[in-house]
């Protein structure tokens, strides 16, 4: 079966910090033929980058805490513990965003950037696609409050031992999908990162 779709109508419903479009479309069926005309809304979030900053010498990760509108009706205190993340602006590469956002949101200077992968966050309704990285850092001087005032950012950087950070997934302190993916990847690859020769890590991070 050849998969295909046809857009019959496309309308812009809202343009602001984010954009919303509605589509009238149809697509092929696994058993053959086509669907009837259906309507779907699409929340345009664009391409974004996430970074889990990790110090393999001290075995610490840097997480951030900030207010999140998405949790406002679900949590009495809608501040989430997450990882560094930001949108890709026109002309930027994902790698450039990783370096920029790590400094802006957490005061972290990335020494080496490792690509974890790319994935859609919620393709049932949003176009957002994440490129996720692990950034090797020196966490010894990380902390404090960060963010861009012109973007109304108020972000607290948290330096956490890896084991404690990973336990936060089970306890619910970390309850956002992207940091969960990042911490789970780190759990699988942490021994490899810590296994680098100590003299190499020292020259890389210090």
For residue range 135-162, what is the model confidence (pLDDT) as tens digits? 999 999 899 999 898 888 899 999 999 9
pLDDT at 16 (0 to 100): 86
The neighbour count for residue 129, using CB atoms within 10 Å, is 15
Query: What is the pairing mode between strands 47-55 and 129-136?
Result: parallel
pLDDT at 18 (0 to 100): 86
* CATH 3.40.50.720 for domain 47-205: no
Q: Could you confirm whether 141 is annotated as catalytic?
A: no
pLDDT at 28 (0 to 100): 96
- Closest of 38, 4, 45 to residue 23, by C-alpha: 38
The neighbour count for residue 202, using CB atoms within 10 Å, is 12
Partners of residue 136 on adjacent β-strands: 54, 112
Q: Catalytic: which of 36, 150, 151, 170?
A: 151
- Closest of 70, 69, 50 to residue 61, by C-alpha: 50
pLDDT at 79 (0 to 100): 95
pLDDT at 152 (0 to 100): 86
- Which is more confident, 1 or 118? 118
pLDDT at 201 (0 to 100): 57
What is the pLDDT of the chain when averaged over all its residues?
92
pLDDT at 196 (0 to 100): 73
pTM: 0.88
What are the structure tokens assigned to 85, written together? 């993340």
Residue identified by tokens 């309308």 is 11
Q: State the number of CA atoms in the 13 A half-sphere of 16 facing the CB.
A: 4
One DSSP character per residue, 10-76 reads EEEEEESSSEEEEEEEEEB-TTSSBPPPEEEEEEE--EEEEEEEEETTTTEEEEEEEE-GGGTTT-S
Domain ranges across the chain: 5-44, 47-205
For residue range 54-112, what is the model confidence (pLDDT) as tens digits? 999 999 999 999 999 889 998 888 999 999 999 999 899 999 999 999 999 999 999 99
Estimate to the nearest angstrom the gap between the alpha carbon of 85 and the chain centroid. 5
What are the structure tokens assigned to 42, written together? 């699409």
């Amino acid at each position: 079966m050849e998969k295909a779709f046809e857009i019959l109508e496309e309308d812009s419903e809202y343009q602001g910090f984010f954009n919303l479009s509605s589509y009238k479309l149809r697509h092929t069926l696994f058993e053959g033929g086509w669907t009837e005309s259906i309507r779907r809304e699409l929340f345009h979030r664009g391409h974004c980058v996430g970074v889990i900053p990790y110090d393999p010498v001290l075995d610490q990760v840097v997480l951030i805490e900030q207010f999140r509108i998405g949790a406002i009706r679900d949590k009495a205190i809608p501040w989430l513990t997450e990882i560094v993340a930001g949108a890709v602006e026109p002309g930027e590469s994902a790698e450039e965003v990783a370096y920029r956002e790590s400094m802006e949101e957490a005061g972290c200077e990335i020494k080496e950037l490792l690509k974890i992968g790319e994935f859609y966050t919620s393709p049932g309704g949003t176009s957002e696609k994440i490129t996720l990285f692990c950034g090797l850092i020196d966490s010894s001087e990380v902390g404090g409050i960060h963010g861009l005032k012109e973007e109304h950012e108020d972000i607290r950087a948290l330096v956490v031992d890896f084991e404690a950070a990973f336990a936060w997934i089970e306890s619910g302190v970390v309850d956002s999908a992207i940091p969960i993916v990042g911490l789970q990847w780190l759990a699988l690859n942490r021994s490899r990162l810590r296994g680098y020769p100590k003299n190499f890590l020292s020259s890389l991070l210090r």
